[in-house]
């Protein structure tokens, strides 16, 4: 399956989560397809998109990588979780000379519990909206939080976005802010 599309702020790259196996859709009986989630990309070619390709290492590993989000300078934010389930954390990988560097797990301000995922990064990298639960200030279930990044690359403590978007005992997943910064699009199980 293919999920979680993200287009770079300049419109030149399209990324998504895929369970493709060696470039093809998996067969129904290939259990690996459900646990091997990788980030794939397509580059802009004229009026369309080029062929999909797996980002490969160091971004993709034997663990599951998903929910890509990109900054203007090409830095990639994503979630990584063990393929067999368990804890999930937000990572980032800087783009240098067209190559993604070794991903770094963001610090405890962003990864404040054992379960953060689906983080949207602002194009200028000034803030991050993420999904997390298991915090004392949660409204229940999984909530949206925002963390702000300072010019010296320090993150604020996550701030709950409140009851306008978060609901009691529901799950909130997959935030996205419109390119003009005016609208928050989000998913909720309410």
The sign of the torsion formed by the CA atoms of 56, 84, 70, 125 equals: negative
Percent of the chain with pLDDT strictly greater than 70: 93
Residue 7 token pair:
């287009």
Residue 71 has pLDDT above 50, yes or no: yes
Residue 120 token pair:
């949207």
Kindly report each contact of residues 18-21 with a partner whose C-beta sits within 8 Å and lies 24 or more positions away, as own/partner. Answer: 18/52, 18/54, 20/52, 20/54
Residue 33 pLDDT level (bands cut at 50, 70, 90): very low
Residue 22 pLDDT level (bands cut at 50, 70, 90): low
Higher local confidence (pLDDT), 34 or 56: 56
């Amino acid at each position: 399956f293919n999920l979680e599309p993200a287009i770079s702020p300049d419109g030149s790259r399209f990324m998504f989560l895929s369970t493709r196996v060696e470039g093809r859709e998996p067969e129904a009986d290939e259990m690996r397809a459900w646990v091997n989630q990788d980030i794939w990309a397509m580059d802009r070619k004229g009026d369309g998109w080029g062929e999909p390709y797996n980002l490969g290492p160091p971004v993709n590993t034997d663990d599951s990588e998903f929910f890509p989000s990109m900054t203007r300078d090409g830095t990639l934010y994503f979630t990584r979780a063990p393929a067999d389930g368990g804890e999930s954390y937000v990572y980032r990988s800087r783009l240098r000379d067209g190559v993604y560097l070794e991903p770094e797990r963001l610090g405890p301000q962003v990864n404040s519990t054992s379960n953060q995922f689906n983080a949207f990064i602002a194009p200028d990298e000034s803030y991050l909206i993420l999904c997390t639960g298991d915090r004392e200030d949660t409204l229940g279930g999984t909530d949206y939080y925002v963390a702000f990044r300072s010019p010296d690359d320090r993150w604020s403590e996550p701030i709950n976005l409140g009851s306008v978007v978060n609901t009691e005992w529901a799950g909130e997943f997959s935030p996205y802010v419109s390119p003009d910064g005016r609208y928050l699009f989000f998913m909720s199980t309410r």
